[in-house]
Structure 1
Amino acid sequence: MDEGNPRRRRGLGVVTPNACTECRKRRAKASCGDMPASLLLMCDGQVPCGRCSSIIGVECAYEIPMRQSKQNMRSEIESLKTQQRQNERILKALASDDDSANTIINQLRSGDHVEHIVDQLDRRAPTSSVGDENRRTTFTMPSHREAISNALQPAMDIQGSFAYVSGVRDTVNLESQNPGQSTGRLEETRGSISQDSMVSQYDDPMVWDPENIPVTQHSLPLIGTWHPSAGDVSSPGSSTLHARAHGQSTILGHPKDFTSSPQKHAEAGGTWTTVTSDLDFVEHLMTLYFCWEYPTFASLNKEHFLEGFKAGSTQHCSPLLVNSILALGCRFSNQPNARTDPENSNTAGDHFFTEAVRLLDLEENRHVLTTIQALGLLSIREASCSRSSDGLFFAGQSIRLAIEMGLHLENYGGNEMQQADYAVRSATFWGAFSLDQAWSLSIGRLPQFSKDLQLVTKPEIIDHIESSHWVPYTDDGAPLERSCIQPSNVRSVYKTFCELSEIVHATLYTLYSPGSTLTSKSLLVHYTKYLNWYASIPETLRLGQNFTPAVLFAHMYYHYAMILLFRPFIRLKITGSGVSPKDVCRQAANAISTLVNSYSKLYTLRRTPSFVPYYVLCASITHAVSFGVSKAAITVSEDSQQKKDSKMALQQGVDCLKEMTGCHGFATRAVDILRYLTGHWGLEFSVDEKSENTLDYKLAGRSSTSSMNQFCPNIGSLDMKNPLGPVGENENPLFWTFPLQGRPLLDVGPRLVSLGFTILP
């Protein structure tokens, strides 16, 4: 059979992965029948190769492979941008009025390297200034800058990804377009994003590739010098106490005595809890919370809370709120006294949580700001512990109480006390609002807040809070010698995150409003809003400028929202548009994987915000679908490569979830869900052998109104009927692969085409 098909024959000998240009040309001609089959000998990869050396007048040259060429271009672009930033830094210093200009001129004349001069300028920069320079990350050594840049580079590449902007031109002028009508070549209108403007606003215009998400293990983080698994931290030594005091004074904003007693008591407010009288331990847990979880879904204002905590004032602090913070902070600690069972990480914070629930039950009037704040924190904690029903309950209570108290209304006072109260009220509402959107988005339902009500102004950005430093704090304290100095930009993160939550809120009403008709036009309108948000985030929050956990978390949430916006439509084609729901979901899943990988290199995954396992699960399910369904690939080679990339990304997701099991109980359930789904779909992928704690699917209740467990892997046949197989007659194929998410109200009958959708072949 092979004798009649010379194209399938392969020469004997060594096959080089990169043949020379001449051999490629001759092989291409021979395969078309223009040359004898004897010229089909393989290139041996030598310089010159054996075949070229036997032919007179032929130059043997090799082209750089595409992937290697792109990587070289990335490195060269990054090097040029680094040089540009350094030159601009020096020029700005030369133009200043201080005496640094003469120093720089003397250094240049003496032959000092530009990078060395810039590093000295950064170290000499005053830390008390509140300008833009103080909101940028500075590095202590050039080697630290390079190491962190390498860890962040794949995530930075996402910002210039063409995948999210391809087809964006098709999303404009939709107001005058009928559903299902072909868009053709459209003009740009206000509010849309062109590909050119997107590229110009981001650091790297290169296309994202799956090669950017290698699965690597890191025993030590790049940020700081602490080890992720501390030894005996219950009796810390003087060096640990010194490092803790340094971290707490940086994050909590007040100086500490480095030689304080481990059993110190507060003079004013005490510990605010009956669980422990150790104030050092309480402040340690609070610092862990404010370091790793705050501020994205936070409904409290840190500055006002800490002021009340130290002064013993109940205006912005309460025992219920303190116990809620401590219950959440325990998830990031390995100390035995942070757990009710020292050997079981799943019991971390249970004693503080029990006390918080007890105090909540005793409250006769819950229309109190600190109660609303505590309910939000309890919801986040239960999300981490994989108790979604309790998490939904607490979040619902929080937003409904906020609305009943009118926190969404503008009620700005004139004097200083009224202004402070207004800032706290605003933060309380936006924290409850953002948390409700996250839960509603995850399970596919309408949010608790009405569609058309006006929202209160977001908390204002305050310079000295923005420029305050962030340090990685653990049971070992914060590293005294840091790889870099990062500003927290905490108010910018919070404000930008709330703006994204507003878009999520509008999206949910489009997808799930009873009686409404979902069209491709409305879907693309929301898609453009997401792109506009991503293009307009502050420069200091772009990856590479700032990479605190909160910033990385906000970027993950954006891609998570993208998946949940488009994944119900992955089997559909948007008529007349270049936007492919399947491609958007796949690229968003790749982006989450890349961001989590960068987070792991920088900080490890031992301490991540509570919703990160939900994002990784969502991305991993998308990878599983891409791994199982790749029929639409153009060629067999592309089909094979897509499967390979999806399988690698799926394995990375499983590994990341396993690393997070120490602080998030939901990570264990997420691994169970992936184990169930990959087995149920018959994928050639094995998560691992079941452990002793593996969920018993026969005993697990299904997602229903009775169990309220929205993330249960035991899915019935009606939900998962032939998920990856052919579509049968009178069957709805649109939502098989994602039964854990609510189903948008889309008419899948004859009106589907008129709504702007067609089913993919």
Structure 2
Amino acid sequence: MNNNTLGNEPAKKRHCVSMACMPCRTRRTKCDGEKPTCSACKTVHKTESICHYAPEEDFRRKGALRKVIAEQEKDRRVYDSMIRKIRNGSETEKKAFVRLISDGEDPENNPERLDQIVQMMDSGSSGNPHGSTVTSPQSLEDKVAILPERTWKAQDNQSRYYGRTLNRLLRSDEDVCFVPTPTDQVPEWTTVTTDQNLIQHLLNLYFTWSHPFYLLFPEEVFSHGFESKKLKYCTPLLVNAILAIGCCYSDRPEARKDTYDPDSVGDHFFAEAEQLLTEVKNQRSLTVVQALGLMSLREMMLNREDNGQKYAAQMMDMALRLGLHISQDRSSHLSLNEIEARRITFWGCFTLENTLAICTRGFPTSPKTEIRLDKPKLEHKLEKTLWRPHGTLQHGASSPYLVQPSMKYNILTQCILLSEIVEDILHIPYMPTARTNCQLAYQSYEKMQKWFLNLPFELKIHTQGSPLPQIVTLHCYYHHCVIQLLHPFLKEPFLKDLKSAREICTESAAAISELTMLYSRIYGLDKTSLVNTYCLESAAIIHIIQLSSSGVVHNTQQTEIYLADAIRGLRGMKGICKVAGQSLHDLCNLLQETCEEIPASVQLAMNEDVSFEEFDLEGYLAGMENVE
């Protein structure tokens, strides 16, 4: 007998369920697919609270699988971009990026933040093809991270990238500035003074004592623009920055903003340079880069290190945004003069930044791995341009034995080569193991020795003749780099020739003292360079270590003479480099802390005023066999 004969309804067939809820899938039980909660979870297993359906996790469905693959590919792009940014970015960029990904919500839990990081990390290959507007980041970290990848539309509607992207397109000088600058107007170079004699006096001082070592631009093209009133390579901003440094070397009362305040030297020209820099904040050009470098140098000379480092960072950042670190050829719509000016400007910035970094124990921001630029060309005619002293205490401009070829581009080339070694030195103290530190220090010392031995004959110091001030400075800088490299290993006899780091540092300190004495007696320390103050300070510290050593110190009398001369030298440099006064103060404190009894000659130098004595230059040079 069937059920129909009994009058009962036939059993309903359970409808096909295409997707079970997640708890039923986990338990592998039947699910009726009811929504929002299936019957099994509601009545049998009592898991109503966690019952849900997730079609995106059902990999039997092609759409779900494609979505998961797309998300994984998106994550892979993000992580690849992160690795690329950390590997190729500068120290500043790395720190900003680490702050970005460390602060805030995890990108994996916030799709919007993940999209934001993708947009910031992707370089020129992705771009913004539809011209859509990207929402501005709200946090400072986001702004810093997105800044290096900011795009700009050229007149041909082609996207070009500022920052440190390797596929950046090079631009001609007319593309550099957002605001067009007329090149045919006749400007007033400065509103501080109308005295053309004073302006020429300050220019002469700058090009005599500062420019040969800190060569940030070609003097020839600047002079042409200055005389012909052309703004392409000479602007009021650059001129005022130059005059501000020239004031530091001048003893004229007009070089001070306040005639009776020696600490106001150059302030009036520098204030105008700052104002002009504010007015051109939306412009990027060679002259702005050059002016930033000079403003950094001037602030460092006046012991305003924070401002100096700020301007130096802006200088290098703008240089990289302009693509100055990438080589050009004649097919790049740039003239030969433009190509060479760009090359000299970048390498001058590179050298200045590394010099300041080794002196202040900082880190350069220039990414050496991204530099694709040849060294400046050595033109025989330019190298033979005569250098003559201007405004010295001991000698007038007509001193015949001081007039000689400037060799400025040869010196720039050697500074570049040394700076490339210096950049590696700065990272050695932060290596993970002491053994690694020693090995890298020894390798760097060998490189510096090789550089020093391979110096051109014209850049060596000889017993006959009077060396150029920039050549003396170059030698001092080399020995300063040796001390900065090896002073953490003064107790380590790790060198193959059995000479300890302490012995090498002592020899370099003695060489700096001899070179400073030579410089002082020929040119006077009131015409010195900024780097010489740091060189003399590092030498004096080594002399103090020698005097305060508990062991046997050889040639103690000579060490006392060197230290006394270093104290006098720093006092003599105070007039031009205020940072020398700070160094002198620190040395005196160090002496009192480390030396139980300060030698009488050193104590006398600490208490006396600096004086310059007349001397027989030829006899002194003839008596010097080799300061190195």
The alignment status of 1:614 with 2:509, answered yes or no, reads no
Contact map agreement 1:383 1:611 (CA 8 A) in 2 = no
The alignment status of 1:539 with 2:454, answered yes or no, reads no
Q: 1:510–1:483: structure 2 CA closer, same or farther, 3 Å change rule?
A: same
Shift in Å at residue 680 of structure 1?
2.0
Contact map agreement 1:324 1:352 (CA 8 A) in 2 = yes
Aligned counterpart for 2:413 among listed residues 480, 495, 498: 495
Pairs within 5 Å for 1:182-581 = 269=186, 271-413=188-330, 418-474=335-391, 478-512=396-430, 518-544=436-462, 547-574=467-494, 578-581=498-501
CA–CA separation in structure 2 for the residues paired with 1:662 and 1:576:
43
Off by >3 Å, runs of 4+ in structure 1: 267-271, 414-417, 475-478, 509-517, 686-691
The alignment status of 1:593 with 2:513, answered yes or no, reads yes
Q: 1:683–1:561: structure 2 CA closer, same or farther, 3 Å change rule?
A: farther
Equivalent residue, structure 1, for 2:566 = 653
Q: 1:483–1:295: structure 2 CA closer, same or farther, 3 Å change rule?
A: closer
What RMSD in Å do the two structures reach over aligned CA positions?
A: 2.6
User: In structure 2, the residue corresponding to 1:473 is in which secondary structure?
Assistant: coil
CA–CA separation in structure 2 for the residues paired with 1:533 and 1:287:
32
Structure holding more helix per residue: 2
Contact map agreement 1:510 1:516 (CA 8 A) in 2 = no
When normalised by structure 1's length, the TM-score is 0.52
Contact map agreement 2:383 2:406 (CA 8 A) in 1 = yes
CA–CA separation in structure 2 for the residues paired with 1:516 and 1:412:
45
Contact map agreement 1:407 1:425 (CA 8 A) in 2 = yes
Equivalent residue, structure 2, for 1:154 = none
User: In structure 1, the residue corresponding to 2:561 is in which secondary structure?
Assistant: helix
Q: 1:345–1:448: structure 2 CA closer, same or farther, 3 Å change rule?
A: same
Equivalent residue, structure 2, for 1:684 = 597
Q: Which amino acid aligns with 1:592?
A: I
5+ unaligned residues in a row in structure 1: which ranges?
1-266, 634-638, 694-761
Shift in Å at residue 644 of structure 1?
2.4
Contact map agreement 1:560 1:615 (CA 8 A) in 2 = yes
Pairs within 5 Å for 1:26-175 = none
CA–CA separation in structure 1 for the residues paired with 2:274 and 2:322:
22
CA–CA separation in structure 1 for the residues paired with 2:304 and 2:297:
10
User: In structure 1, the residue corresponding to 2:427 is in which secondary structure?
Assistant: helix
Which has the higher relative contact order, 1 or 2, with Cα contacts under 8 A spaced 6 or more apart? 1
Contact map agreement 2:391 2:397 (CA 8 A) in 1 = no
Deviations, residues 492-530 of structure 1 (Å, cap 9, x unaligned): 111111111111112223444679973422221111110
Q: Which amino acid aligns with 2:457?
A: E
- Which deviates more from structure 2 when the two are superposed, residues 293-302 or residues 526-535? 293-302
Q: 1:428–1:490: structure 2 CA closer, same or farther, 3 Å change rule?
A: same
Equivalent residue, structure 1, for 2:525 = 605
Shift in Å at residue 461 of structure 1?
0.9
The alignment status of 1:669 with 2:586, answered yes or no, reads no
Deviations, residues 341-379 of structure 1 (Å, cap 9, x unaligned): 223332211111111111112223242111110111111
Q: Which amino acid aligns with 2:198?
A: F
Shift in Å at residue 490 of structure 1?
1.4
Shift in Å at residue 684 of structure 1?
2.4
Report how many aligned residue pairs link the two structures.
Answer: 420
Shift in Å at residue 683 of structure 1?
4.3
Contact map agreement 1:334 1:475 (CA 8 A) in 2 = no
Q: Which amino acid aligns with 1:403?
A: L
CA–CA separation in structure 2 for the residues paired with 1:325 and 1:576:
47
CA–CA separation in structure 1 for the residues paired with 2:251 and 2:518:
23
Q: 1:269–1:678: structure 2 CA closer, same or farther, 3 Å change rule?
A: farther
Contact map agreement 2:388 2:402 (CA 8 A) in 1 = no
Contact map agreement 1:613 1:657 (CA 8 A) in 2 = yes
User: In structure 1, the residue corresponding to 2:420 is in which secondary structure?
Assistant: helix
CA–CA separation in structure 2 for the residues paired with 1:308 and 1:516:
53
Deviations, residues 83-126 of structure 1 (Å, cap 9, x unaligned): xxxxxxxxxxxxxxxxxxxxxxxxxxxxxxxxxxxxxxxxxxxx
Shift in Å at residue 418 of structure 1?
1.4
Q: Which amino acid aligns with 1:520?
A: C
Shift in Å at residue 423 of structure 1?
0.8
Q: Which amino acid aligns with 2:514?
A: T
CA–CA separation in structure 2 for the residues paired with 1:689 and 1:340:
32
Shift in Å at residue 610 of structure 1?
1.9
Deviations, residues 235-287 of structure 1 (Å, cap 9, x unaligned): xxxxxxxxxxxxxxxxxxxxxxxxxxxxxxxx984650111111221111011
Contact map agreement 1:395 1:436 (CA 8 A) in 2 = yes
5+ unaligned residues in a row in structure 2: which ranges?
1-183, 610-628
Q: Which amino acid aligns with 2:444?
A: H
Deviations, residues 584-620 of structure 1 (Å, cap 9, x unaligned): 1111111110001011111111211122111111111
Equivalent residue, structure 2, for 1:159 = none
Q: Which amino acid aligns with 2:227?
A: K
Q: 1:571–1:407: structure 2 CA closer, same or farther, 3 Å change rule?
A: same
Contact map agreement 2:296 2:312 (CA 8 A) in 1 = yes
Contact map agreement 1:412 1:418 (CA 8 A) in 2 = no
User: In structure 2, the residue corresponding to 1:560 is in which secondary structure?
Assistant: helix
Equivalent residue, structure 2, for 1:643 = 556
Contact map agreement 1:627 1:646 (CA 8 A) in 2 = yes
Q: 1:531–1:283: structure 2 CA closer, same or farther, 3 Å change rule?
A: same
CA–CA separation in structure 2 for the residues paired with 1:300 and 1:453:
22
Q: Which amino acid aligns with 1:607?
A: K
Equivalent residue, structure 1, for 2:51 = none
User: In structure 1, the residue corresponding to 2:555 is in which secondary structure?
Assistant: helix
CA–CA separation in structure 1 for the residues paired with 2:270 and 2:397:
30
User: In structure 2, the residue corresponding to 1:518 is in which secondary structure?
Assistant: helix
Q: Which amino acid aligns with 1:344?
A: D
CA–CA separation in structure 1 for the residues paired with 2:282 and 2:603:
48
User: In structure 1, the residue corresponding to 2:335 is in which secondary structure?
Assistant: helix
Contact map agreement 1:626 1:642 (CA 8 A) in 2 = no
User: In structure 1, the residue corresponding to 2:400 is in which secondary structure?
Assistant: coil
Contact map agreement 1:616 1:657 (CA 8 A) in 2 = yes
Query: Which structure has the larger Rg over C-alpha atoms?
Result: 2
Q: Which amino acid aligns with 2:586?
A: I
CA–CA separation in structure 2 for the residues paired with 1:610 and 1:342:
24
Aligned sequence identity (%): 30
Contact map agreement 2:358 2:481 (CA 8 A) in 1 = yes
CA–CA separation in structure 1 for the residues paired with 2:340 and 2:545:
45
Q: 1:350–1:447: structure 2 CA closer, same or farther, 3 Å change rule?
A: same
Shift in Å at residue 540 of structure 1?
1.0
CA–CA separation in structure 2 for the residues paired with 1:586 and 1:294:
30
Equivalent residue, structure 2, for 1:584 = 504
